[in-house]
Amino acid sequence: MPSLRCLHTPGTGTLTAFQCSVPRSLWLSCSSLADSMPSLRCLHTPGTGTLTAFQSSDEREDCHNEEPPRKIIPEKNVYRQTKLANGTSSMIVPKQRKLSANYEKEKELCVKYFDQWSESDQVEFVEQLISRMCHYQHGHINSYLKPMLQRDFITALPARGLDHIAENILSYLDAQSLCAAELVCKEWYRVTSDGMLWKKLIERMVRTDSLWRGLAERRGWGQYLFKKKPQDGKTPPNSFYRALYPKIIQDIETIESNWRCGKHSLQRIHCRSETSKGVYCLQYDDQKIVSGLRDNTIKIWDKNTLECKQVLTGHTGSVLCLQYDERVIVTGSSDSTVRVWNVNTGEMLNTLIHHCEAVLHLRFSNGMMVTCSKDRSIAVWDMASPSDITLRRVLVGHRAAVNVVDFDDKYIVSASGDRTIKVWNSGTCEFVRTLNGHKRGIACLQYRDRLVVSGSSDNTIRRINKIFPWENERVALLASFGSSMLYGYNLAVVNSPAEHIKEFYNRTWLSRNHTGLSKETLTLLYSFTVSVFAIGGLLGSLLVGMLVTKFGRKGTLVYCTVLVFIAGALMGFSRICHSPEMVIIGRFVTGIHSGICLSVVPMYLGEIAPKNLRGFLTLVPSIFICLGVFLAQVLGLEELLGKETYWPLFLSLVVVPTFIQLMLLPWFPESPRYLLIEKRNIHATITALKWYRSKCNIQAEIEEMQEEQRSLSTVETVSVWGLMMDKSVRWQFISVIVINMGMQLSGIDAIWFYTNAIFANAGIPKPQIQYTTVGTGAIEVISGLIGCFTIEKLGRRPLMIGGFGVMGIGCAGITLSLVLQTHIAFMRYISIACVVAIIAGFCIGPAGVPFLMTAELFKQSHRPAAYTVGGALNWMSNFTVGFVFPFLQMSAGSFCYLVFCGVCVLVAVYVHFVIPETKNKTFVEICQMFATKEPILSKSPPGNPNELRLKKFNGYGMMENSSVELDSSRSYP
């Protein structure tokens, strides 16, 4: 976390400069306050994320007696002096300038007119004036205005009863800067002292650093932390924590020095007795060591003298595990009992008999104890007192001995010889999930701060940092279930009832006009019913940019549900109303909904997901698309909804998942990136991130978003035309075109359309083809799951290149099999294998990764336009393939699939050479990788060899680490 820095002049009692670079969330939280208080309008410099304050300590006490800014009166070429809003004098020493005679003559007249205008007119005039100046003139004006915009807001805030804001700002200081801040003036010292900022600094370190946490427990000063200030004043003052901080630092340096230099002394405690053959467990503190031995005893040793102080006897088996605190020692033994002892007297207080085999491990904390046993069970106990311990619940699920348990206030984690780790809810004791990974039994485990580290006899240590279903995954499942699944469902829902829909059209036409439709007209009308879905999708994709900017990502998904209810009502009541037009309009409306959601869902999930899960979550919609196709194929069977009576219900079932989504999705937060970067609502952003990340540290992610926000501070949301004209994102734009068009031009739609014909040619009986088609739907779902669960391990590029490569080989194989199947009988089975390969290859990568890449290749300002372009091209390519393929097949015959083969190969080659791997990269890092393809500085024309001109860096008008110097005597347009 960037720290605040104070530049203090020792011995003067004045603050020469105070500049800070804290998270932009703090500035945004102060901005609304500053705007409502005229005296605080210059809290920060817009767009820079910095605060600056110059203030004389002599005048700081009277800062609340503010005067309006005085006009700057130039004196005789010596200096200019102004009285700032806070009463501070500012000296500006300009360069000697030679003024023209016209200026001296006309200046007073201009000033006279200027004074007569209103404030808004004056601001407008100055803006126009500045816009006509050149770059170096802007620099002079900036240096002139800078002192006028500076103020000591830390002193001004408490004067208005806003001490908590001043304390919050200074709480971001590190120790060195906090020391300097105390020396600025009495008011700064008072804010630091009253706010207990040294205490807060130590508490922040204890929360984030395990070494500090351990020292707090061991040294005992942790008892003074994380407690509210009592009214009786017994809490140590701020000076106590200020003196404590250097002592902690000294302890840490001593510990680190000892570990680095290897300074240690080896001392031995001889535990051997006639029956003792080993020590199974131990725990120690600064005074004692408690050990559990194989001779059935617990021995307590003095840590300093290494003498045995007490021997606790009572177990009839080896003591395998123990834990103690300041009151009791709890032990578990191979005699299957758990015993509780007084830590001071050694008296046995309680014996717990429940397990039927050896107790292998135990843990207790905050009135709760968990024990595990060789009998494969876990016992959860309530500890009201050492003598009042009751069994709450027995957890059963492991298939071998449970070797170790650990828990906190939310989860119980257990590891077993059955190679699994199981997670249980601490409050309800309900099972949560199973974690797999080890190949042999797990012998040890530790769980802390939602992190599990386990060791196994398979010679591996595994680190698991996600032990429970994240809120991100709930949103992914819900958004995909109510939106993406409908796209796949609507793609396949009209295939099974095709004959019933045609019959309905013909019967309705006959009742209206007393004549039936010709076969060609009926086919045309049905084809239009099918293809109007793609037309609606194209229209919906063009609306994406406008909708997500106005309503947000989640808001767009919620509001779009009304389209599904309208479409469901139209299609569901079409037969009752005898209106084929209602079916066609319903298909068109569902197409609009799918066109919107097909882009918005990946955008939403890509923005809420942490970078290490972004690929996984963004591919969840592709799984639900496949699941929607599969569901339509299953429900379309004759045994279910494939009969003539049910086809209106079959078409209108889309309202069910949409209704579930509408009931639940509004309770989930909006995209944090949208809230911060576009809405600039820092409080809502922090709330949303805390919800999505549970108890994880969100500071680094907020700073990454603020970095992107700063780079976009002068950039509005880009339109589609602006995206096309922006040369700095040219490669990203081309990549979106290639992968989105390639996804549809790969021939997957043609394969789906002619699957039944290929299966019929392979000799599959016609009644059985519908079941074979359902089998291909299952393959789609399985392939989508494979892609989803491997993308974070393999990356985006391998799935894209491999997927398109497999599809290219499959298309070539279909061509070969269709040419040779009349001569070689088994080639018809090769064609089936190629169909399966094409479908599997498509669902593993090309089905979902293009939507993910569209989100990853652009920053927030360009992303809506990119999704609009990608979605429109996707639907246009879909419509093109459906319209052109029949003519292509008639002209090229069996060789028509070679066209798709060529497209797949070209897209795979493009991805290999152009698109970088984006796995575990932030959006800013991805844009910087593409920026290396464009030179940042380009040379000037030959006539001006010494000039350099600045190009746009990464599309956002910035260049980092620049050392280019410009001649101030030359004007640069």
* Domain CATH number, residue 242: 1.20.1280.50
Q: Is the pLDDT of residue 413 over 90?
A: yes
Shared domain for 624 and 637, answered yes or no, is yes
Residue 416: its pLDDT value, please?
A: 94
- b/e string for 231-261 if b means 16 or more Cβ within 10 A? eeeeeeebeebbebbeebeeeeeeeeeeeee
CATH value at residue 455: 2.130.10.10
Domain assignment present for 688: no
More confident residue, 890 or 185: 185
Q: Which two tokens stand for residue 441?
A: 């039994």
Residue 51: its pLDDT value, please?
A: 41
Domain end residue (candidates: 417, 445, 465): 465
Domain assignment present for 101: no
- Convert the pLDDT of each residue in 894-935 to its tens digit: 777 788 888 888 988 888 888 888 777 776 677 777 665 554
Q: Are strands 337-342 and 348-353 parallel, antiparallel or unpaired?
A: antiparallel
Lowest mean pLDDT among 134-138, 309-313, 764-768: 764-768
Residue 455: its pLDDT value, please?
A: 92
Q: Is the pLDDT of residue 936 over 50?
A: no
Q: Is the pLDDT of residue 610 over 80?
A: no
Residue 752: its pLDDT value, please?
A: 65
Shared domain for 441 and 509, answered yes or no, is no
Residue 350 contacts residue 387 (beta carbons within 8 Å): yes
More confident residue, 6 or 267: 267
Domain region containing 445: 279-465
Q: Is the pLDDT of residue 750 over 60?
A: yes
More confident residue, 881 or 349: 349
Domain assignment present for 481: yes
More confident residue, 165 or 329: 329
Q: Is the pLDDT of residue 135 over 80?
A: yes
Shared domain for 472 and 459, answered yes or no, is no
Domain end residue (candidates: 465, 489, 512): 465
The whole-chain average pLDDT of the chain stands at 76
| Confidence category of residue 377, pLDDT binned at 50, 70, 90 | very high
Nearest-angstrom CA–CA distance, 693 and 465? 12
> For the CA atoms of the chain, what is the radius of gyration?
36
Q: Is the pLDDT of residue 363 over 90?
A: yes
HSE toward the beta carbon, residue 853, CA cutoff 13 A = 30
- Mean pLDDT value across residues 165-193: 88
Tokens 């070209």 belong to: 906
Shared domain for 638 and 740, answered yes or no, is no
Domain assignment present for 585: yes
Residue 359: its pLDDT value, please?
A: 95
Q: Is the pLDDT of residue 88 over 80?
A: no
User: What percent of the chain has pLDDT above 90?
Assistant: 14
- Convert the pLDDT of each residue in 541-572 to its tens digit: 888 888 888 888 888 888 888 999 998 898 88
Q: Which of 324, 307, 317, 329 is nearest to 280 (CA)?
A: 317
- b/e string for 329-351 if b means 16 or more Cβ within 10 A? bbbbbbbbbbbbbebeebebbbe
Shared domain for 457 and 487, answered yes or no, is no
More confident residue, 824 or 326: 326
Shared domain for 878 and 790, answered yes or no, is yes
CATH value at residue 763: 1.20.1250.20
Shared domain for 636 and 491, answered yes or no, is yes
Shared domain for 484 and 408, answered yes or no, is no
More confident residue, 956 or 438: 438
438, with CB counted inside 10 A (0-12, 13-18, 19+), is buried
Nearest-angstrom CA–CA distance, 563 and 484? 14
**Sheet containing strand 421-425, strands side by side:** 402-407, 411-416, 421-425, 431-435
Domain assignment present for 343: yes
Eight-state DSSP code of residue 516: P
- Mean pLDDT value across residues 448-457: 85
- Convert the pLDDT of each residue in 195-207 to its tens digit: 889 988 998 888 8
Q: Which of 361, 277, 365, 271 is nearest to 324 (CA)?
A: 365
935, with CB counted inside 10 A (0-12, 13-18, 19+), is exposed
Domain assignment present for 132: no
SS3 957: coil
Domain assignment present for 371: yes
Q: Which two tokens stand for residue 939?
A: 């040379």
Shared domain for 435 and 336, answered yes or no, is yes
Shared domain for 368 and 514, answered yes or no, is no
- Mean pLDDT value across residues 721-738: 81
Residue 358: its pLDDT value, please?
A: 95
| Confidence category of residue 711, pLDDT binned at 50, 70, 90 | low
Residue 276: its pLDDT value, please?
A: 59
Report the domain count for the chain.
Answer: 4
Domain end residue (candidates: 211, 231, 261): 261
DSSP 642-684: -SGGGHHHHHHTTHHHHHHHHHHGGGSPPPHHIIIIIS--HHH
- Mean pLDDT value across residues 107-112: 85
Q: Is the pLDDT of residue 49 over 70?
A: no
Shared domain for 457 and 309, answered yes or no, is yes
Task: Give the chain's largest Cα–Cα span.
Answer: 113
> Does the global pTM surpass 0.85?
no
Shared domain for 247 and 363, answered yes or no, is no
Domain assignment present for 628: yes
More confident residue, 364 or 67: 364
